[in-house]
Amino acid sequence: MIGILVGPGFLLFSYSFKSVPGWYPVFFALAGSFLAYGAIFWNIGRMKRPLKWGSFLFSLVLSVIVTFALKGPQQHLAHQPFLINCLIYLATIVFLLFAMLLAIKILYSLTESRAEGDVPKRHILYFSILPLLISLLYFWAFYPGILMADSVNQWQQAHSTFYNDWHPAVMTWIIKLAARIWDTPASYVIFQFILTALITGYVFYVFEKLRIKKPVLWLGYAFFCFLPLIPLYSVVIWKDTLFSYFLLAFTVMLIQIIDSNGKWLRSFSHLLFLYLSVCGVIFYRHNGWPVLLATIVIFLFFLRKRYWYMYGVFALAVITFLIVTGPVYKHYKVFPADETESYSILYQQIGRIVKENGHITPAQRAVINQVMPIPDWKKYYQPTDVDRIKFTPHFDRAYIKSHKKAFFSTWFALCRQNPKLALEAFYDQEKLSWKLYISGEELRRPIFRNKDFEKYRPVYFMTQKNVQKYHVHYKWFYYKDYGSDLANTKLSSRITQINQTFSQGMLRVLMMPAFYLYLILLFLFTAILKGNWRFVLAAVPMFLNLGSMFAAIPAQDIRYFFPNFLLAVPFFFLATLTSRKRDSHG
């Protein structure tokens, strides 16, 4: 009876009954009753009482968080009595609570397969075939690949001798190498989707070796192959695709290191692939470097003795990074990344305070005005789009760099004087990291990318002064120069239609990175319940990456949280494993 009530209540939290088909309330009533019955009466996992209480408290807290993450405009509830609104919120929390408790019960009851025998390495190739074929379809549809402004800039750099580390220079050099083999963006795209398919094959090969049951394994495999965002990203040229796959490979290798109590590190080939995956993480996105350093520090508290080979690989990666970003960058005169790019949250907080006429002293106003004229702050501030501020011609990055103390002290004082406005600006800028409902207007950038232009102007990511100083000159980018007429427009239109289906309505939540973050938390909690708490260490790089995004997200763009989509699968698999024994050398 409770489930029959909370199901429609959960639906009412986001939609009025008038705005959905008539069978929706019936479906959610049945779903609510099923979840309630399973959560309350099924005893499928033989969980001990303390674990049951722990599961209840965890699920309750997460249910409350997810409820507020789902909260949208709720215009249909605006004129309802306060009591009705409270009951709808309560129904949503209870519905989610039942769903999480049942999920934990099912995961807790799952075990690995008892099948014996080794898994041949050729299974890596077998698991790679379907992702590769799907990527080839997307490649045909969007030939020679999908480029954004960032991609155009790196393509232009690859055809010059001037390199700018605004976007990772190592990736630009790989693009340059691919272009020397075949001078078209398609060359890099082919390299990218072959590599992503091989990493995918490797991931599922590893979990097949760990004896994940076939239905569970194939469920994860279907997600990897058919969630529209994943194959689409394999043909988009930007740093986030391969960064996410390198982080995925790194995480899966950490799982094997932890599961084997360090024995996995005894193979030279394993150490080599670990080194390559770590290098991919630190070279393909600027926040990968601090993520590695923090990972080393945290691991030293938990993993010792048998894990020194791992630290040796980390040390080699650190040395490689210092050499490449030091002498090598200096030799090629790589223009350094603009440090002010990581101040996006600060700009948004200042912009909010200025726009809302917060408390600002004359001295603070003078500093803000030096960065950008006050009228421009008010004109260009948009709660979820910092690019409108930082790419405005009048925005003076040079002043910020030369007057750091004045800028930071002014920002800090403004936040202290206007805490409510500062928190609101932070909340709006960080929505993508935890919200499950974000409107198209708030997101600013589309969930799914397409070939949005036929040509693109030279992109420098430098001040005009520096462009002239270093005599940088790029040519316009024209898709037609690289055979874009070979693209299958009918196929791309069909893919776009499918993508639109996932961009609206209830399916839109599947495209929100936070959805997979909450799933990962649920999976890791289940692993802890089953005694596999050390596997949580494999999630440290992922959480550090999320933390760096939370502290300095440059823009509201789903691609920055693409690792969430990929990493949900290995952590789902971990939640199905039984307790692993730990030896005295851990």
Does residue 585 surpass a pLDDT of 50?
no
pLDDT tens readout for residues 15-33:
998 888 989 999 999 999 9
Which is it for strands 455-456 and 477-478: parallel, antiparallel or unpaired? antiparallel
Task: Provide the H-helix boundaries in 418-470.
Answer: 419-429, 431-434, 440-443, 464-469
Cβ neighbours, 10 Å, residue 437: 18
Does residue 259 surpass a pLDDT of 80?
yes
Collapse the DSSP code of 181 into the 3-class scheme (helix H, G, I; strand E, B; otherwise coil) and give the result: helix
What pLDDT does 306 receive? Answer: 86
pTM of the model: 0.95
Mean pLDDT of the chain: 93
Distance (Å, whole) CA 574 – CA 534: 11
pLDDT bin (cut points 50, 70, 90) of residue 582 is low
Distance (Å, whole) CA 14 – CA 492: 32
> Residue 32: which residues within 8 A CB-CB, separation 6 or more?
2, 3, 4, 5, 6, 7, 8, 10, 95, 98
- If phi > 0 it is left, if psi is from -120 to 50 it is alpha, else beta; for residue 482 that is alpha
The pLDDT of 499-505, averaged and rounded, is 91
Does residue 586 surpass a pLDDT of 70?
no
What pLDDT does 45 receive? Answer: 60
Does residue 535 surpass a pLDDT of 50?
yes
First to last CA, the chain: 49
What pLDDT does 492 receive? Answer: 96
> Residue 110: which residues within 8 A CB-CB, separation 6 or more?
213, 216, 575, 576
What pLDDT does 583 receive? Answer: 47
Distance (Å, whole) CA 407 – CA 343: 11
The pLDDT of 533-538, averaged and rounded, is 95
Distance (Å, whole) CA 576 – CA 397: 50
What pLDDT does 581 receive? Answer: 60
Distance (Å, whole) CA 336 – CA 338: 6
Distance (Å, whole) CA 382 – CA 26: 40
The pLDDT of 314-318, averaged and rounded, is 98
Residue 106 CB-density burial (10 A; 0-12 exposed, 13-18 middle, 19+ buried): middle
Task: Provide the H-helix boundaries in 71-168.
Answer: 82-109, 123-141, 149-158
- If phi > 0 it is left, if psi is from -120 to 50 it is alpha, else beta; for residue 442 that is alpha
What pLDDT does 550 receive? Answer: 83
DSSP state of 455: E
Q: DSSP of 281-296, one letter per residue? A: HHHHSTTHHHHHHHHH
Q: Are 70 and 44 in contact (CB under 8 A)?
A: no
pLDDT tens readout for residues 170-181:
999 999 999 999
pLDDT tens readout for residues 354-383:
999 999 999 999 999 999 999 999 999 998
Collapse the DSSP code of 141 into the 3-class scheme (helix H, G, I; strand E, B; otherwise coil) and give the result: helix
Distance (Å, whole) CA 474 – CA 458: 5
Q: Which of 429-433, 476-480, 542-546, 566-570 has the lowest mean pLDDT?
A: 429-433
> Residue 232: which residues within 8 A CB-CB, separation 6 or more?
138, 146, 448, 449, 495, 499
Distance (Å, whole) CA 164 – CA 460: 8
Q: Which of 128-137, 275-284, 375-384 has the lowest mean pLDDT?
A: 375-384
Which is it for strands 236-237 and 455-456: parallel, antiparallel or unpaired? unpaired
Does residue 481 surpass a pLDDT of 50?
yes
